Amino acid sequence: MSAYLELQGIRKQFGNTNVLNHVDLQIHEGELVTLLGPSGCGKSTLLRCIAGLTDIDGGKIILEQKDIVNLAPRNREIGMVFQSYALFPNLTVSENIQYGMKMRGASKGERRNRSEELLALIDLEDKRDAYPRHLSGGQQQRVALARSLAVQPKVLLLDEPLSALDAKIRKNLRTEIRDIQRKFNMTTIFVTHDQEEALIISDRVCLMNKGSIVQQGTPEELYTTPRTEFVARFMGSYN
Ligand code: ADP
Ligand code: MG
């Protein structure tokens, strides 16, 4: 099976610092791959490079056999959800969900249908006319997820979408994200610094350190067969 999304030798520097060192990664259609690693190891930078929000210094980003490096972010067909709620505060929940579709010229009827479908999916139909400030953190993240799914991206990037939430909500939403990802067969890169979260949610885990992927495999493989001291410590394999 050939890769759906492939990163080849992605390099990024900020000033004189190498933040990404020739990162290679292949992701299959419908797979949920986690980028796991300590704060500052380059996870967010890598997602931003894939989304086109940050320019890369070298490498290729191949989506469905095409190099998308020179495409503007909105033409990459990649959706992204950030750690902190990035909803438009002056738009209602339903307007937030429809925003991207509107920018792409979808008709009013089409937008409304899709928005209602997604509201049902995230179980927030009763909040369609509410403003983000009236929602809990977990509800805002569900709307952010719906908003990025609304434009039917080919790849979904989730940058620590649960980190700002408290433990119980985090666990519920984790399961919800996984269910939705499976239902849509959505090719997803999920970023976290929490190894437990990575072990539970992923088809495959890529552990990063200092701008490189140091080991990748199934959650079981990383946990039971760490190849270095760093991996063993980070995965908690000693416990
Ligand atoms: P992570 O998401 O894994 O915590 P980041 O990708 O945010 O890590 O950051 C990786 C490194 O790049 C850090 O050392 C960070 O300080 C640096 N960095 C990130 N963005 C910028 C920027 N816009 N300018 C300069 N340095 C940056
Ligand atoms: Mg980050």
What's the 39 CA to ligand 2 centre distance in angstroms? 7
Side-chain half-sphere CA neighbours of 3 within 13 A:
18
Cα(171) to centroid of ligand 1, in Å? Answer: 27
Distance 42 CA to ligand 2 centre (A): 7
Quote the pLDDT of residue 2.
Answer: 83
Supply the residue whose CA is at minimum distance from atom 11 of ligand 1.
40
Q: What is the pLDDT of residues 161-213, one digit of tens each?
A: 999 899 999 999 999 999 999 999 999 999 999 999 999 999 999 999 999 99
For the CA of 17, the nearest ligand: 1
pLDDT confidence band for 1 (50 / 70 / 90):
low
136 DSSP 8-state letter: -
Judge whether 43 and 216 are in contact, CB under 8 Å.
Answer: no
pLDDT single digits (tens) 65-105:
999 999 999 999 999 999 887 899 999 999 999 999 999 89
Q: Which residues line ligand 1 at a C-beta cut-off of 6 Å?
A: 14, 19, 37, 39-45
- Interface confidence (ipTM) of the complex: 0.98
- In the reported structure, the alpha carbon of residue 170 is separated from the centroid of ligand 1 by a whole-number distance in angstroms of 24
Helices (H), the chain: 43-51, 93-103, 108-121, 137-150, 167-184, 195-201, 219-224, 229-235
- pLDDT exceeds 70 at position 239: no
Say if residue 23's pLDDT is above 70: yes
- pLDDT given for residue 136 in this prediction: 94
> Which protein residue's CA is at the shortest distance from atom 5 of ligand 1?
42
> Is 97:147 a contact under the CB 8 Å cutoff?
yes
Q: What is the pLDDT of residues 200-234, one digit of tens each?
A: 999 999 999 999 999 999 999 999 999 999 999 99
Which atom of ligand 1 sits closest to the CA of residue 39?
Answer: 4
